[in-house]
Amino acid sequence: MAAIGLIVHLSTPAAACGISSEELKISLIGDWQVSNGFGTLSFNGRTMPLPSGNSTSAKIVPTENGLAVTGGAAPGTYDMDFIEDARFVLDAPSQTILDQGEAWFGEHPEIITDEELAIVAGCGTGQMLPQLQVSGTFEDAEGQVDFEVYLFVLDQATMYGIMSGNLLSMGGTAKRVTRWTR
């Protein structure tokens, strides 16, 4: 599960390293601000940069089975699951894509991989940041979109990750860095 990377603006170390999903569930419930950053669009064998997207708000709510998210870029309510048995990887886009993004949109994000994020967040040896996954389908102006969001939980107020959408009508995939804060 590779993605494009993420923008990091950390001011305090993460408190979520090594904490179980059960311990985190209650602390994540509530309102979140979602900032969708720099990304890529791939279709017809070509990948190009996307500028930062619109910011929005989302809410994490408790359910019988755990957590769900409402709001955000995908209208509807979607299950939010902790990833316990596998790890996902955030890979930075190529330097060419970063350079094009800067030339086209005036953006040149600081990119950090998942391994670097764990170090910056202050995780000790053998500790990992908790990971969440949300997926679903919604109707957009361009047609049906199958999406996935993968988030690293840094602490009770900060999550970073990637949002990926398959734009079924045009056969393309858009990926964006996403930052959730409160």
Closest listed residue to residue 52, CA positions, set 178, 170, 166: 178
**Ranges in the chain, pLDDT < 70:** 1-15, 18, 85-86, 88-92, 108-114, 119-121
pTM reported for the whole predicted model:
0.82
pLDDT tens digits for range 88-130 = 666 667 777 777 777 777 776 666 666 777 766 677 777 778 8
* CA–CA gap between residue 41 and residue 128 (Å, rounded): 29
Nearest-5° angle of CA 65, CA 147, CA 127?
60
Closest listed residue to residue 87, CA positions, set 53, 123, 63, 58: 123
Q: What tokens were used for 86? A: 């596998």
